[in-house]
Amino acid sequence: MEGVFDYAPAIALFPLVAFVVVLAFGTYLPKKGALPGIIATGGSLLLSLVMAAAVASGEAYHETLYEWAAGDATSATGVEGVSFTFGLLIDPLAALMLVIVSLVAFLVHVFSLGYMNAEGETGLPRYYAGLGLFTFSMLAFVVADNLLMAFIFFELVGLCSFLLIGFWFRTKSAPSAAKKAFLVTRFGDYFFLIGVVAIAATFGTVAFAGDDSFVTAAETAIDGGDQLFGFDAQTWVTITGLLVLGGVIGKSAQFPLHTWLPDAMEGPTTVSALIHAATMVAAGVYLVARMFGYYALSPTTLAIIAFVGGFTALFAATMGVVKDDIKQVLAYSTISQYGYMMLGLGVGGYVAGVFHLMNHAFFKALLFLGAGAVIVIMHHEQDMWKMGGLKDKAPVTYYTFLAGALALAGIIPFSGFWSKDEILYDALIVGLEEPVIMAAYAMGLLAVFFTGFYTFRMVFLTFHGEPRSEVAEDPHPVGWSIKAPLLVLGVLAVVAGIANLAPVAKLAGVDITFLEHWLDGEYGAIEGLTYTAYGELLAYETSYIGSEQVTVLVAAGLSLLLAFSGAGLAWLLYNKPEPVAHTERLGSAGKVIEDNYYQDEYQVWLAEGLTLPLARAADRFDQTVIDGIVDGTSTASLFGSDRIRRLQTGIVTNYAALIVTGVIVLLLVLGFLGGWF
């Protein structure tokens, strides 16, 4: 496998070429530019698989390709000069993510043939160009070997998200949703940018890996008890870590910056599947995993990540319970699932978090594409109350969707169960020592119930019962380009759990935790970026209920019980020929949940009630005080000059008189000072 990494840049560049080609010639191409996208992402997928194979054969790749700026300022830790580069870092984590992203991107491109082309959308070159640019940015983000490069592509995926959410820009809601998504994530990215600057200024490097990475530098600074910018090193690492976390919270839609994601469903469903479920939203979580060594140095940050994650998991899951739009339910479930990943990473469960990231990418892309298929079947109807009875009419869609739903709900043995259970198990063993983590665990556990409930409410309302509208009785057929991606993802949603059957491994004592070995560098790895290396940095204590086996059983049993009871409640309430809404039974709580806990309202209030008056006051200060001083100076000099110029009469006698007077006065003054009198 020697030398295959030389082709690594092509993974990201293929979609970029597709973007340029589609943008320039899309209108003239058959399928309006879908084919270059499919070929490019297919090529990326193949190369990603080759990279994964190369990593599996025991290699890894870390190479700086291009230095675009270098400074000679000395950092706070005494490193002279900082250089900003583009480089590639392909280790097990990146290789895994490359495969996930390029696979989902490829399938979404294929699906788009059925979802967009067959439906006769206009502006398709723009759509495929956006997808191409997005895939390029996302893949480049994944292989980024330094924080600044990651930031650049983090912003680019945000831009693509904006462009694609606003694809139907002639409607009123889509541009508004696009703006909201852009602004909310940008608010988080603002902190990320400050964090990047702070890290560069502190450690003189932004590299993720190697001896001169900021992670190593931070570890050295903490061990040496350095003072950085007036804080001790530990506190400063926490501060910068939290700043970077701002971008993560914005991008991965964690509380309180989650409000953009449900609105982002205004975009085409394929875009939701690719960007707002499987990949871009994962960028935040991936970033945490990428610089996990840095976060592992700061227990405070980790605890915050875990708590925010646990809270978001529960918070979003409750909102998903009352939504009627199939995509809205999926959007809230996405927020909730990313909460789980944050919880997993926050408790030090690096493998568990990445495992769930992978599984979620498959089953949530599946669910979104399934929802897209349902929307095609239903002639662009998204209200679940107008569906029903699609089970027999669209069996492929139904069974793949069901596989995704079972995985999402965490029902054994589908993939979601294994990863979610591992996260909860990791949270539990840490939580037994740390009360904050215990609270996060409790919220995550409770969210399992709601997940099971809303998932199966969605399934029953969409596919079971009697058709509740005319279109549901006479569904639109779907073609192979829709069914094939569903089948691929459906299979993955069922079997992806095999990658890391940790509970089975612990109970039966067999060595089948492949993903853990993968991320632990048993194949290829970069030194310091392995699960064991991270584990050594972590300060968490763990303990068990009884023995390890008992704890595994308790954790798995609890989450399964809750998942089944949630699903069972949904079955009781909604698996009827003519289901009725039960939302009003929730009373005033239901109202609060339907209004999304007034998150939008309070954020709008913050913007209009707090920021706007503040900005207005600043504007007034600028207009009156600052401008007043400037204008006052010029007015005074103008007025004064106007008076003084009247001295210039143009009559030469007056000038003579002035000169004489001046001389006399001068003489008198000199006389008085010189003591002549």
Partner 1 sequence: MTVAIEYYVLLSMGLFCIGLFGVLTRRNALMFLMSVELLLNAANINLIAFAFYHGNLTGQVFALFAMALAAAEVAVGLGIILVLYRNFRDVDVTVPTTMRW
Nearest CA-CA partner of 152 in 204, 95, 195, 193: 193
Residue closer to partner 1 by CB (options 588, 653) is: 653
Residue closer to partner 1 by CB (options 532, 654) is: 654
Contact pattern from residue 423 through residue 452 relative to partner 1, giving x for each residue in contact according to CB under 8 A and a dash for the rest: ------------------------------
Among 612, 660, 665, 669, binds partner 1 (CB under 8 A): 660
Residue 650 binding partner 1, by CB under 8 A: yes
Q: Are strands 231-232 and 227-228 parallel, antiparallel or unpaired?
A: antiparallel
Residue 645 binding partner 1, by CB under 8 A: yes
Residue 653 binding partner 1, by CB under 8 A: yes
Residue 651 binding partner 1, by CB under 8 A: yes
Residue closer to partner 1 by CB (options 632, 662) is: 662
Residue 230 binding partner 1, by CB under 8 A: no
Q: Which of residues 87-116 bind partner 1 (CB under 8 A)?
A: none
Q: Closest separation between CB of residue 635 and partner 1, Å?
A: 19
Residue closer to partner 1 by CB (options 623, 649) is: 649
Spatial distance between the Cα atoms of 528 and 397, rounded to a whole number of angstroms: 44
CB contact set of 55 (below 8 Å; sequence gap of 6+): 90, 91, 92, 95, 523, 524, 525
CA quadruple 21, 25, 26, 30: dihedral positive or negative? Answer: negative
Among 649, 662, 667, 669, binds partner 1 (CB under 8 A): 649
Q: Closest separation between CB of residue 178 and partner 1, Å?
A: 60
Cβ(372)–Cβ(111) below 8 Å: yes
Q: Closest separation between CB of residue 648 and partner 1, Å?
A: 5
CB contact set of 63 (below 8 Å; sequence gap of 6+): 5, 87, 88, 145
Q: Closest separation between CB of residue 674 and partner 1, Å?
A: 20
Span between the terminal Cα atoms of the chain, in Å: 107
Nearest CA-CA partner of 138 in 167, 164, 110: 164
Residue closer to partner 1 by CB (options 651, 673) is: 651
Among 547, 588, 634, 648, binds partner 1 (CB under 8 A): 648
The helix-helix angle for 326-346 and 415-431 (nearest 10°) equals 40
Residue closer to partner 1 by CB (options 585, 646) is: 646
Nearest CA-CA partner of 336 in 358, 311, 359: 311
Cβ(57)–Cβ(50) below 8 Å: no
The site for partner 1, by CB under 8 A, has a size of 10
Give the number of other CB atoms < 10 A from CB of residue 118.
15
Piece of 142-150, 282-290, 449-457, 641-649 that binds partner 1 (CB under 8 A): 641-649
Residue 572 binding partner 1, by CB under 8 A: no
Which DSSP helix (H) or strand (E) runs through 82?
strand 80-90
Among 638, 652, 673, 674, binds partner 1 (CB under 8 A): 652
Piece of 95-103, 159-167, 198-206, 642-650 that binds partner 1 (CB under 8 A): 642-650
Residue closer to partner 1 by CB (options 547, 648) is: 648
**Residue 108 CB-half CA count within 13 A:** 34
Burial of 584 (0-12, 13-18, 19+ CB in 10 A): exposed
Among 657, 668, 669, 670, binds partner 1 (CB under 8 A): 657
Cβ(460)–Cβ(570) below 8 Å: yes
CB contact set of 28 (below 8 Å; sequence gap of 6+): none
Piece of 223-231, 300-308, 375-383, 651-659 that binds partner 1 (CB under 8 A): 651-659
Residue 638 binding partner 1, by CB under 8 A: no
Residue closer to partner 1 by CB (options 650, 674) is: 650
Q: Closest separation between CB of residue 656 and partner 1, Å?
A: 5
Binding residues for partner 1, per CB under 8 A? 645, 648-653, 656-657, 660
